Amino acid sequence: MTPMYSSRRLAGALVMTLALVGCSPGASTAATPPVDKAPASSAVDTATPPAGASAGVAVARALPDFSGLVERFGPAVVNVQVTEKRQEAQFRGPQGMSPNDPFYDFFRRFGQPNGGGGGGGAQPRGNQPPQRGEGSGFVVSPDGFILTNAHVVNGATEVTVKLVDRREYRAKVIGVDTRTDVAVIKIEATGLPTVRFGDPGKLKPGQWVIAIGSPFGMVNSVTAGIVSATSRSLPNDAYVPFIQTDVAVNPGNSGGPLFNMEGEVVGINSQIYSQTGGYMGLSFAIPIDVANGVREQLVKFGKVSRGKIGIGIQPIDATMAEGFGLDRPRGALVGSVEQGGPADKAGVKPGDVITKIDGKTIELDAEVPALISNVKPGQAVQIEVWRDRTAKSFQLRTAELVQDGESPQKGGSASPEESSQLGLSVRPLQPQEKQQVQTEGTLVVEDVSGPAEDAGVQPGDILLGVGGKDVKSLADLQAAAKKAGKVVPLRIQRGERQIYLAVRVPEK
């Protein structure tokens, strides 16, 4: 199967991220539910081997026993079944599945777990039944509020919730937030079993976690594994610092809870990375504190308002850190600043490295969007940056984040000029070219070689500056490069994006 991305397109990799819904789209979010906070130290037991037991038996019996946790909180995990409109489904493949879905070929050949499709390819468009799919969710309040994934319920015309005791309820979609892939649904019931929330910030790689859900419709299936990493950034998912685990999750697990050893929900299972369409040991969960903030707003307002400061950021590697005079790779590099935005008004510039937000140290660029988006529009934010090897602080007020080209042609009358030290050949942009690509830059890269080519600079890139300094000519570039030293952080425009590339100057 050709690797591709489904549901949430994460281009530019050889693996695919799969939303874990059973052949259906959906999402959700959460806030701290009114659940008991009884001590959960006994949620998971570790058996003590008897005296004289062999080493092998001792190791086996020292493994955690999750049965107590599952018995107590498993009843709060639900199966979510959805139906889409016929007119939306008629353009899809087997049982309404999109031909772009990585599971399309599999189900076209072998059918779905519920018996749909299979053996004869997709049905004719006119006879295509409504799309049906399923995922998971969990009850967060006794009166029927449930968290799941946005890709599970988004666009559904009918949502049915099945409890462990086989009771079924028609559910209402309270709100969907596609940016975080979180959704809230509600059933009319009382006295329901609920989960309790933990602190995902306390998770450490190597700790045990378990998932409960409905993979391929197999209700209340339990799988266990460990935390592989925290604050994991995924392409096109800037607002979620994912929890990465090796817990086995599959289509149908979407929206189900990820529990820690205390029996607390620390995440919502959302995606997997795979080259085959199946589980390969890379699973991703939305931290429950992120979902909490979304849930509160969805329940109260029906939508989510997020703050923004008007910047574009990128990660910092070792070479880039050296170029900016950092002691090690850390923080988030500001690649672009929105004109007239909060950051621009406060004095933040391209080339600044964000090291703290409201006193919280920033290690990874993925932390910034999640932190800023959780700030209400109009609220004050304190930002500390690294500029010209000096720490500077700025206070600004967030604006509201609204939901929501071509490279210049080569040629022209001006002749290219070369910077042999960097391996760059540049020429001035013509007025019509600047208008075409809507840039403030004045130099376009004609050819690259050596250090610039190694750094990833491409012909057609527009050269904007070095570090935080703008460059308007080859002389500006050469002077700035000389001042930068061994590593020259070039700021370029590529299409509509502004990024930094670190060019290492070879030793003479």
Which residue of the set 254, 283, 373, 425 is catalytic? 254
* Residue 263 placed within a domain: yes
Residues 311 and 298 in one domain: no
* Alpha carbon distance 473, 464 (integer Å): 10
Residues 298 and 312 in one domain: no
| Residues spanned by the domain of 178 | 1-36+66-85+130-302
The pairing of strands 311-314 and 332-337 is: antiparallel
* Alpha carbon distance 471, 481 (integer Å): 10
Residues 312 and 295 in one domain: no
pLDDT digits (tens, 9 = 90+) for 360-371: 999 988 888 888
Structure confidence at residue 336 (pLDDT): 84
Question: Coil, helix or strand for 226?
Answer: strand
Last residue of a domain, one of 400, 432, 454: 400
Give the model's confidence band at 204: pLDDT under 50 very low, under 70 low, under 90 confident, else very high: very high
- Phi-psi label, residue 468: left if phi above 0, alpha if psi -120 to 50, beta otherwise: alpha
* Alpha carbon distance 316, 345 (integer Å): 25
CATH of the domain at 22: 2.40.10.120
Structure confidence at residue 149 (pLDDT): 95
Domains identified in the chain, total number: 3
- Token readout for 80 is 């979510």
pLDDT (mean) for 202-213: 96
Residues 276 and 312 in one domain: no
Which residue of the set 28, 101, 151, 352 is catalytic? 151
Secondary-structure breakdown of the chain: helix, strand, coil percentages, each rounded to the nearest 5:
20, 35, 45
* Residue 363 placed within a domain: yes
* Residue 104 placed within a domain: no
More confident: 162 or 506: 162
Residues 348 and 318 in one domain: yes
CATH of the domain at 369: 2.30.42.10
- Token readout for 454 is 């190694």
Give the model's confidence band at 439: pLDDT under 50 very low, under 70 low, under 90 confident, else very high: confident
* Residue 114 placed within a domain: no
Last residue of a domain, one of 400, 435, 464: 400
* Alpha carbon distance 72, 485 (integer Å): 61
Residues 181 and 250 in one domain: yes
* Alpha carbon distance 473, 313 (integer Å): 25
Reply yes or no on whether 344 is catalytic: no
Asked whether the whole model's pTM tops 0.85, one would answer no
Residues 297 and 315 in one domain: no
CA distances from 502 to 292, 313, 459, 467 (A): 38, 15, 16, 10
Instruction: Please check whether residue 385 is in contact with residue 353, taking contact to mean a CB–CB distance below 8 angstroms.
Output: yes
Structure confidence at residue 19 (pLDDT): 59
* Alpha carbon distance 133, 157 (integer Å): 12
Residues 379 and 464 in one domain: no
Which residue of the set 101, 181, 289, 352 is catalytic? 181
* Alpha carbon distance 247, 222 (integer Å): 10
Structure confidence at residue 17 (pLDDT): 54
Strands (E), 71-111: 77-84
> Among 198-212, 230-244, 370-384, where is mean pLDDT lowest?
230-244
Reply yes or no on whether 274 is catalytic: no
Q: Is pLDDT of 335 > 50?
A: yes
HSE-CB at 454 with a 13 A cutoff on CA atoms is 12
CA distances from 456 to 365, 423, 451, 503 (A): 20, 11, 9, 9
Structure confidence at residue 504 (pLDDT): 86
CA distances from 59 to 52, 225, 247 (A): 13, 17, 21
For the chain, the straight-line distance linking the first and the last C-alpha, in angstroms and rounded, comes to 49
Residues 297 and 318 in one domain: no
Q: Is pLDDT of 313 > 50?
A: yes
- Token readout for 336 is 């672009």
* Residue 439 placed within a domain: yes
pLDDT digits (tens, 9 = 90+) for 412-433: 334 445 555 777 777 787 776 7
* Residue 389 placed within a domain: yes
Residues 450 and 483 in one domain: yes
Supply the DSSP string of 39-69, one letter for each residue: --TTSSEEPPPPTT--HHHHHHHHSEE-HHH
Residues 155 and 32 in one domain: yes
- Token readout for 79 is 């199966």
* Alpha carbon distance 113, 216 (integer Å): 6
Alpha helices in 279-366 (DSSP H): 288-301, 318-323, 342-346
Residues 231 and 151 in one domain: yes
Q: Is pLDDT of 189 > 70?
A: yes
DSSP state of 505: P
* Residue 72 placed within a domain: yes
Q: Which residues make beta-bridge pairs with 406?
A: none
Structure confidence at residue 293 (pLDDT): 87
Reply yes or no on whether 151 is catalytic: yes
DSSP state of 345: H
* Residue 407 placed within a domain: no
Last residue of a domain, one of 371, 400, 429: 400
